[in-house]
Chain A
């Protein structure tokens, strides 16, 4: 049995060693060390996930077992959800490090230590059972991310993007700490299970205030509207392997933090209230806003960033439904979305490597030279639309089975984000229609992030993209997926079982019979979504050749421009939106909770 501590300690030690011997270690050795460490984490996390499906376990650091109810030290709870997220983080980091070997500029040897620290932080965040420990890993994740985001320092834009990212997320971290302090004052505890037991169902103003601050902090990381403004800026300027990690797992971990804290600390307090509806409303708003902004973008990485915002909004919506089937669907959707998004970013990276631009009009028709990237990109677009054959459709069908009224949001968000990606695919890889409008944001000067740019694409750049898209398709046909998701959800949602695990050391997870998702219904809506995505994409690409009546209404461009101006690039704006969002969340929480 691998020690849970190694999930965090191993990447940290290797990162420190790589940092210490930075000038002496050749590039090849650093690449190899990074890939092997991430692969080691992957193996350990997969082992733990398989173990956690049957038995959740707690691990106390420093040998500090609890005294009665008092938790003296910090504990990791190895449950299904946490271990699976740690496995996804390790998988994406391994693929990102494979992608960045050989060609990617290593920024003076600082890239690998930072990526490994990032992996350690994400792994620790996923399985931590202590509130302040969650905060520390949140900060560690953020600091490594700030540094990685600003890697391409030769232009000014990456610094603006990294700065916006840093300011917004730091404010989020401090709000989170405020929430933690409020909870500590009244319960005198930092362990999640202990806090949940100590609060014992009361929902007075203090608990509500703590909930507002903690949730705001996590939702900023999860890029939920109106806290999302930092994400497109950060993605537009980050190097590709870093974007993969941001969109594939980091943003979703922000949502998971909110979920974890809600499930352990606040669920008992807000059980009779309509507080979970907050997540539904914010999630739906995020999904629709993200989908709309995604379709209006012409910079590939920003487009994918907005689609991440949209899909994370869908996941937030699923979480707000707070039912077993919804969270099962969320689990599957999270894993599948992470894989598809990573695959799309890898393809975008290949385009950047070959053509040194991320602007859709500038890339028009040039992708025809790349034989494999085109089909992968188009498959990715279908995946985002949750077409049949992709595990996103499976996840979505679990959610809409219990809440059919969410079908519309899933449909619009999936179809529009899929259509945006497919539109880019038709333009860039097939040369269909017209190049599209000249777009100010797409004119970001892109210096190459790889050496040897403009030349033939090395297989090491293709393999991760294949693995991701193929993985998502394979996930659909894996029989055990629903069973794993259901076991993870059972142990996640049941606080009594969680508290028992923490104080008793381990608990068995009841094996539920795998519910059959209503396959027929799910397939029909998935097929309709795919059809809608393809149709909208073709319409966008060919609309100038259509009769006048079928074209975009022209006044739409003007109003879209004003909406897009909200994404202003000014950190003061973003913090103002953050404050407003926190206030709205607070007012709504107090209204619903008291």
Chain B
């Protein structure tokens, strides 16, 4: 293993921690939701990095001979649907933020302390 060559994995780790840091220190609910999408991106980077093969073609055989070296189609399939689907989940979270602003008058997590123990 050589560290510089494996840099995508460490980038994924860094993105994950950046996203979590964003959520932890956020002062605005929308910012918090977007930080969540950053966390999500780290999983995509990790998945795609795992499936990469140097010199491999895209796994689409229209115009390509079968048997040629291609990158991994599985990880691409795993994350493709995820991207679209998580967008709608983010829409759901943002709808919560919109409603919270309407009812509570605030978008700061510090002010939404209705549930304090």
Q: Do the beta carbons of A155 and B103 come within 8 Å of each other?
A: yes
**Which residues of B, 64-116, contact A by the 8 Å Cβ criterion?**
74-75, 78, 85, 89, 92-93, 96-97, 99-100, 103-104, 109-110, 112-116
In the complex, which residues of chain B have a beta carbon less than 8 angstroms from the beta carbon of A132? 78
B13's nearest neighbour on chain A, judged by CB, is A178
A159 to B: closest C-beta gap in Å = 4
Inter-chain CA distance A155–B12, complex, in Å, is 39
Q: Which of A143-151, A338-346, A538-546 contacts B (4 or more CB under 8 A)?
A: A143-151
Q: Do the beta carbons of B103 and A178 come within 8 Å of each other?
A: no
How many interface residues does chain B have, given as a range? 35 or more
Instruction: Report which A residues bind B (CB closer than 8 A).
Output: 132, 139, 143, 146-147, 150, 153-157, 159-164, 166-167, 170-171, 174, 177-178, 181-182, 184-185, 190, 232-233, 236-237, 293, 302, 440-441, 444, 564-572, 575-576, 579
**By DSSP majority rule, is chain B's interface helix, strand, loop, or mixed?**
helix
Q: Do the beta carbons of B24 and A166 come within 8 Å of each other?
A: no
In the complex, which residues of chain B have a beta carbon less than 8 angstroms from the beta carbon of A293? 117
Inter-chain CA distance A174–B60, complex, in Å, is 28
Task: Say whether, besides A166-B93, A181-B47, A156 and B112 are in contact (CB < 8 Å).
Answer: yes
Q: Do the beta carbons of A143 and B32 come within 8 Å of each other?
A: no
Inter-chain CA distance A570–B29, complex, in Å, is 10
Inter-chain CA distance A443–B114, complex, in Å, is 9
Inter-chain CA distance A576–B29, complex, in Å, is 16
In the complex, which residues of chain A have a beta carbon less than 8 angstroms from the beta carbon of B47? 177, 181, 184
B90 to A: closest C-beta gap in Å = 9
Q: Do the beta carbons of B97 and A441 come within 8 Å of each other?
A: no
**Which residues of B, 5-46, contact A by the 8 Å Cβ criterion?**
12, 16, 20, 23-26, 29, 32-33, 36, 39-40, 42-43, 46
Q: Do the beta carbons of A568 and B50 come within 8 Å of each other?
A: no
A176's nearest neighbour on chain B, judged by CB, is B43
Inter-chain CA distance A184–B42, complex, in Å, is 16
A312 to B: closest C-beta gap in Å = 19
In the complex, which residues of chain B have a beta carbon less than 8 angstroms from the beta carbon of A571? 23, 32, 109
Inter-chain CA distance A92–B58, complex, in Å, is 47
In the complex, which residues of chain B have a beta carbon less than 8 angstroms from the beta carbon of A579? 20, 24
Inter-chain CA distance A150–B42, complex, in Å, is 28
Q: Do the beta carbons of A174 and B43 come within 8 Å of each other?
A: yes
Task: Say whether, besides A174-B43, A569-B113, A166 and B104 are in contact (CB < 8 Å).
Answer: no
